[in-house]
Chains A and B, each alone.
Chain A
Amino acid sequence: MLRKMFLVGLVVYVLGAFVWVVASGFARNEQLLNVACDPTRELWHDINAAFVVQHEHDHGVKLRIRQSHGGSGSQARAVIDGLPGDILTLALWTDTDAVRKAGLIEPGWEDKLPNRSLPYTSTIVFVVRKGNPKNVHDWPDLGRADVGVITPNPKTSGNGKWSFLAMWGAITTRGGTEAEALELVTQVYRRVPVLDAAARGATMTFAQKKIGDVHLTWENEAQLEVQEAAGELEIVYPKVSVLAEPHVAIVDAVVDRKGTRATAEAYMKFLYTEEAQEIIAHHYYRPTNPAVKARTADRFPAIELFPATKVGPTWDAIQKRFFAEGGVFDQIYATGK
């Protein structure tokens, strides 16, 4: 008797689970999915909490915002494959534009939001072990034979691409030749001990697994990493670095299908409010709102930033030359290994 009840219970359970699975394939319209690059987890956690409160206040609806994190390039690929993101908050222009090329975002997306769709900017800095034992202060130091650099794979990670461009630009914008820049990146990448797929993985490798001498990462990730390390790590700001511009965008195809456009647009607008900008600065992303920027200037050391366009004329050219199949990055590994 007991056995029969158990079996019946099991069958009911499995049938219920089956129904749940089938039903879960239908789109959920009362929530947003923010498809983000890897290291922004903590930032979006706080921003979402704030926005949900405001949204409930304005509309009386308790909104749910889901997050998916991964390497910027990987995430773009996922969205193209059908990951139903309403919002894209990736690491660089190329990845978001790849989604436009696939027809999911309308052209001209860059200008739909203030400041070329940039609620914040960032840059790439160094993280080193306590006391900076390898004496790393500027970009050329990275090419030294005794220095192992940790940075993610440029083909999948925004952090990876920005690191590469920062390295290259640090040479070419200060009078170095293209050949010298090539030499630096070749030396560095040949000696990278571990090439993670995304930013947070690289942070884990450097901070937790204690591999490598220098970690090239986002400014905000560096700050978080050093805080978590409680004295074991320190940040080194090089003299120059790249101006990292992580654009945000609404995925038109998804919001129009789900009917979440209004909410998504409100969410995007929220990012430019002072409240959100304060959160952004709190997490060490450089805010673009002038007032907040002035207020929080002491959090961000002065550093000369050059835009990516200094490295290659356009993003498409940059992508093609450095990161596409057979490009400069591929060449580094193809030869001499």
Chain B
Amino acid sequence: MSTANRRVLPGFGLGLGYTMLYLSILVLLPLAACLVKAAELTAGEFWAAVWTPRAVAAYQLTFTVSLVAALINVVLGLIVAWTLVRYEFFGKRLVDALVDVPFALPTAVAGLVYASLYVKDGWLGQFLVPLGFEAAYTRNGIILVLVFTGFPFVVRTVQPVLEELDAETEEAAAVLGANRWQTFRRVILPSLLPPTLTGFTLAFARSIGEYGSVIFISSNMPFKTEIAPVLIVSRLEEFAYKEAAAIAVLLLAFSFVLLVVINILERWSRRYDG
């Protein structure tokens, strides 16, 4: 599979040129506009804009709910991936297809329906609220909806790895006297670690920026349930463009770091592939 084919295969110039052009116009230029706008602030002003108590509360909230949701997704994702790969049961194909629904479903629909399910007289809320679990308009609701949107990530990164797991290695371990639990801990778990970590980071990154579903179910109160993207829109609507751009830049920087981490994790994960 040779690839250094500039002399043999045509189209390098055209391909690269168009790619760079489109990338620049649609992605780099607008992002640059954001940086330029934020740069209109002095360093002191920038800091003052992104580090207000309200903003800090928003970052803390965003980070916390995204982390919790991603962790929940690790647990749920592992259970579901394990079951889908290793067991047969009635309706398995349907369940497998349903896992991808959060990817395809518009976030606004997700937010709308989740909010209506968990209010006091919603399908699920009518049972849960008396039990003390208030999802709508609380942090719990945000976590719930983030669990929904991030659900497929861990499942879909773990599944292929689990499927490729060599049956022989497991049997060899059993033959050598390991019980099920030891086999699980020493043989299976280590190879699950990279994809789980990757899935976790993907779900985490997705949750950080999520907007459409959260605004339906959150009360968007400053200091209590205002996530960072909502804060940005708020600042924008208050005519505070530069401050909105500044917070956006901070969010961008953080997401970019996550992106790099994900790329590294994927490369590490690939070393474990057969």
Q: Are B222 and A333 in contact, CB atoms less than 8 angstroms apart? A: yes
Listed stretches A83-91, A122-130, A193-201; interface member: A193-201
Do B223 and A337 touch across chains, with their CB atoms under 8 A apart? yes
Interface residues on B, range: 20 to 34
Given A156-B234, A209-B136, A333-B54: A325 and B222 interface contact (C-beta under 8 Å): no
Is A77 part of the contact surface with B, judged by Cβ < 8 Å? yes
Q: Is the CB of B120 within 8 A of A194?
A: no
Majority DSSP secondary structure for residues of B touching A: loop
Q: Which residues of B contact A205 (CB under 8 A)?
A: 219
Taking CB atoms, residues of chain B closer than 8 Å to A192 are: 221
The answer to whether A71 and B237 touch (CB under 8 A), given A193-B219, A209-B137, is yes
Task: Tell me if B236 and A210 are in contact (CB < 8 A).
Answer: no
CB of B238 within 8 A of CB of A196, answer no
A145 on the B face (CB < 8 A): no
Q: Mark B29-44, 1 if CB is under 8 A from A, else 0.
A: 0000000000000000
Asked if B237 and A73 make an inter-chain contact with CB atoms under 8 angstroms apart, the answer reads: yes
Does chain A have a CB within 8 A of B53? yes
- Nearest neighbor of A197 in chain B, beta-carbon distance: B237
Residues of B within 8 A of A153 (CB): 234
How near does chain B come to A212, taking the closest CB pair, in angstroms?
10
**8 Å CB contacts to A: which residues of B120-164?**
120, 136-137
CB of A195 within 8 A of CB of B137, answer no
Establish whether residues A195 and B221, one from each chain, have CB atoms under 8 Å apart when the complex forms. Answer: yes
Structural contact, A195 and B54, CB atoms closer than 8 A = no
Q: Which of A77, A197, A211, A325 interacts with B220 by CB under 8 Å?
A: A197
- The reply to whether the CB of B239 lies closer than 8 angstroms to some CB of chain A is yes
A263-301 vs B: 1/0 string, CB under 8 Å? 000000000000000000000000000000000000000
Which residues of chain B from 3 to 58 have a CB within 8 Å of any chain A CB? 52-54, 57
Q: Does B240 contact A (CB under 8 A)?
A: yes
A224 vs chain B, min Cβ distance (A): 22
Identify the closest chain A residue to B53 (Cβ). Answer: A334
Closest CB of chain A to B244's CB: distance in Å? 11
Q: Known interface pairs A156-B234, A197-B234, A334-B54. Does A98 touch B220 (Cβ–Cβ under 8 Å)?
A: no
Partner of A195 from the list B53, B119, B219, B237 (CB cut-off 8 Å) is: B219
Closest residue on chain A to residue B236 by CB atoms:
A77
Among B237-269, those with CB < 8 Å from A are: 237-240
CB distance from A185 to the nearest CB of B (A): 15
Nearest neighbor of B238 in chain A, beta-carbon distance:
A155
Which of A76, A155, A197, A209 is B119 in contact with, Cβ under 8 Å?
A209
Cα A164 to Cα B167 in complex, Å, equals 69
> Shortest distance in angstroms between B120's beta carbon and chain A's nearest beta carbon?
6
Residues of A within 8 A of B120 (CB): 210
B220 to A195, Cβ gap below 8 A?
yes
CB-CB < 8 A to B222: which residues of A?
195, 333
B219/A325 in contact, CB under 8 A: no
Interface string of A311-337 (1 = CB under 8 A from B): 000000000000001000000011001
Quick one: given A77-B236, A194-B220, A196-B220, are A210 and B53 in contact (CB under 8 Å)?
A: no
B219 CB contacts on chain A under 8 angstroms: 193-195, 205, 211
Which of the listed residues B52, B223, B237 has the most CB atoms from chain A within 10 Å of its own CB? B237
A74 interface hit (Cβ, 8 Å): yes
CA distance A193 to B221 in the complex (A): 8
Whether the pair A325, B240 counts as a contact (CB closer than 8 A) is yes
The chain A residue with its CB closest to the CB of B243 is A325
Residue numbers of A with Cβ under 8 A of B are 71, 73-74, 76-77, 80, 98, 153, 155-156, 192-197, 205, 209-211, 325, 333-334, 337
16 contacts between A and B (CB under 8 A): A73-B238, A77-B239, A80-B239, A98-B239, A153-B234, A155-B234, A194-B220, A195-B221, A196-B220, A197-B220, A210-B119, A210-B120, A211-B137, A333-B53, A334-B53, A337-B57
Q: Which A-B residue pairs are the 8 nearest by beta carbons?
A: A194-B219, A74-B237, A337-B223, A156-B237, A155-B238, A195-B221, A333-B222, A77-B239
